[in-house]
């Protein structure tokens, strides 16, 4: 079924209903790291044994526990890598633009309906 064609009912005050015709879907893999090694916080970009399937999710969200920082990284940025090395103290590091980049989750992006219908 085409998610964009579905009508989703949302509650309003006093038991009224309003129909919505669109829904934003973001597939997010959340990870955390606390290990600091050679100037970076490494984070594995794979499951416990195998790499994630390509297009398994849209964003990697990584929480660095000791620094209370979040990275929101689009999947194409790290595709094919086994890990990402996060360096929050380095302004021009590879992933610095994704530090606290919550706005990326609000941006419009194409939805892979074939992948969604397989869920």
What integer pLDDT is reported at residue 48 of this predicted model? 76
| Residue 19 within a domain | no
| Residue 92 within a domain | yes
Could you tell me which of 77, 98, 103, 75 has the C-alpha nearest to residue 87? 98
Task: Read off the pLDDT of residues 22-75 as tens digits, 9 standing for 90 and up.
Answer: 666 789 999 999 999 999 999 998 877 787 888 889 999 999 999 999 999 999
Cβ proximity of 106 and 117 under 8 Å: no
| Residue 14 within a domain | no
| Residue 22 within a domain | no
Rounded to an integer, what distance in angstroms lies between the CA atom of residue 62 and that of residue 27? 14
What integer pLDDT is reported at residue 26 of this predicted model? 84
Share of the chain above pLDDT 70, in %: 70
* The length of the chain, given as a count of residues: 119
What integer pLDDT is reported at residue 97 of this predicted model? 97
């Amino acid at each position: 079924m085409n998610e964009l064609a579905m009508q989703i009912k949302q509650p309003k005050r006093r038991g009224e209903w309003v129909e919505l015709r669109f829904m934003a879907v973001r597939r997010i893999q959340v990870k955390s790291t606390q290990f600091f090694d050679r100037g970076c916080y490494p984070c594995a970009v794979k499951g416990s044994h195998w790499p994630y399937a390509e297009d398994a999710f849209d964003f990697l969200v990584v929480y660095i526990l000791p620094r209370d920082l979040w990275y929101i990284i689009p999947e194409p940025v790290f595709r094919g890598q086994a890990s990402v090395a996060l360096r929050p103290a380095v302004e021009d590091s590879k992933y610095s633009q994704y530090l606290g980049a919550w706005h990326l989750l609000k941006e419009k992006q194409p939805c892979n309906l074939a992948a969604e219908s397989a869920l």
